[in-house]
Chains A and B, each alone.
Chain A
Amino acid sequence: MARITAGIATSHVPAIGAAIDNGKTGDEYWAPVFAGYDWTKEWIRDNTPDVVILVYNDHASAMMLDIVPTFALGFAEEFEPADEGWGARPVPTVINDTDLAGHIAEQLVIDEFDITIMNDIKVDHGLTVPLSLMFGQPSEWPCKVIPLAINVTQFPTPSGDRCWQLGAAIRDAVRSFPEDLTVQVWGTGGMSHQLQGPRAGLINPEFDNAFLDNLTSHTTALRHITRLEYLRQAGTEGIELIMWLVMRAALGKSVEELHRFYHVPASNTAVGHIVLKALD
């Protein structure tokens, strides 16, 4: 049977991808950011899953103009990196596990999540930057990846609690898949940041650190943060943190925090990163 062994959350700032692609990870500005991922890069070498279910948001690269799906599962065999206006990132093609993706889609609908299926998308920095942060610059990604895109951009976005319920349903779906696979769920985006208007540059370390503190065992508090409250406290783009709740719920009741990192800034954003081991 397939099992979810661990969850990873990380910010997915595009400038982090650019720093990796342009060989600037050792620069004075960037070195402290990348140092926060050293532990995880080491850990994941011994704990590479068969499949990552990667929860991210598309940044108006493949959707959001003509179609704005609330929850959308990638169903192609592979996904190329998107050209976001300065050429595609030089990263490997993302390879899907369509058997598991198909099973999850089937189970989610049984569980009342009427999921959108995406047959042809390119994946942007929201998906590829987390892969680069954990796996560096390999010629091919060391595991399969199922993209799960969530609308966190256009209101109404889903609520944090709905994201939690989706994560719980994904957990049940994976655990009922007959193949013997290890699966990780990654939640990406956040932490506090705002990319528009006179309030741009907002960073709220108190909110961010409380979120990190509560993610292991005080999750009820996190489930009930309203969308309005994310905007007020963490900035308009800080609402991406609802994607971390999909990851957390997918791990089940008990988790152990293996690693945590918080740093300000990367470009406009507070960088948060956490690795959680599923204990149930």
Chain B
Amino acid sequence: MRHRLYPLEDLEDIPGTTVFTAKRSRQAYHLHKFCMSLMDAANREAFKQDERAYLDRFRMSEEQKQAVLDRDFSRLIDLGGNIYFLVKLSNTDGWSTQKAVGSMTGMTADEYAAMMRAGGRSPEGQRSIRDNLK
């Protein structure tokens, strides 16, 4: 048997990062089923007509439904979500991916866009939570 090249816990050691694992995928299965349903124009229309009623078609947790209604992408990531599913929601809203992604950083959309134009977020101090505590 081959062995891991790094401890699995190290995936949790990256600042400001949630690694999307099989376990998180299970947690978000119905949330993601909702997201992928928005790949159909008729479903997008039904969602826009009555968001709450549309969400109730899916076996998502109440927290997940509320986070969708709030367009709280950070919370949706906490609840197991992955950005590639979640952008189906922001695309439905006509948001750019940059707007959806930037909304998780605590910056305004303009601040985030300006940071990206200036070369993006520096990798300095972003490598390891443990290293940052040393």
Contact = CB atoms under 8 A, between A and B. Distances in A.
Nearest to A61: B39
Nearest to A202: B121
A200 B94 contact: no
Interface of A: 14-15, 59-61, 64-65, 68, 82-87, 153-156, 192, 194-207, 226, 228, 231-233, 236-237, 264-265, 267-268, 270
B68 interface: no
A15 B113 CA distance: 14
Contacts, number: 161
B21 A202 contact: no
B77 to A, nearest CB: 5
Interface in B81-134: 82-85, 87-92, 94, 96-98, 101-102, 104-106, 112, 115-117, 119-123, 126-128
A201 B119 CA distance: 9
A220 B28 CA distance: 37
Contacts of B91: 84-86
B20 A84 contact: no
B25 interface: yes
Contacts of B88: 60, 84-85
B15 A196 contact: no
Contacts of A65: 29, 32-33, 36, 85
B101 A155 contact: no
Contacts of B116: 201, 203, 264-265, 267-268
A155 B105 contact: no
A197 B104 CA distance: 5
Nearest to A193: B120
Nearest to B100: A195
5 contacts: A197-B77, A198-B105, A199-B17, A202-B120, A232-B128
Contacts of B17: 194, 196-197, 199, 231, 236
A156 B38 CA distance: 27
Nearest to B98: A267
Contacts of B41: 83, 87
A61 B40 CA distance: 11
B92 A85 contact: yes
- Most chain A C-beta atoms within 10 Å of own C-beta, residue among B10, B20, B97, B105: B97
A219 B18 CA distance: 29
Contact of B6 (A156, A195, A228, A264): A228
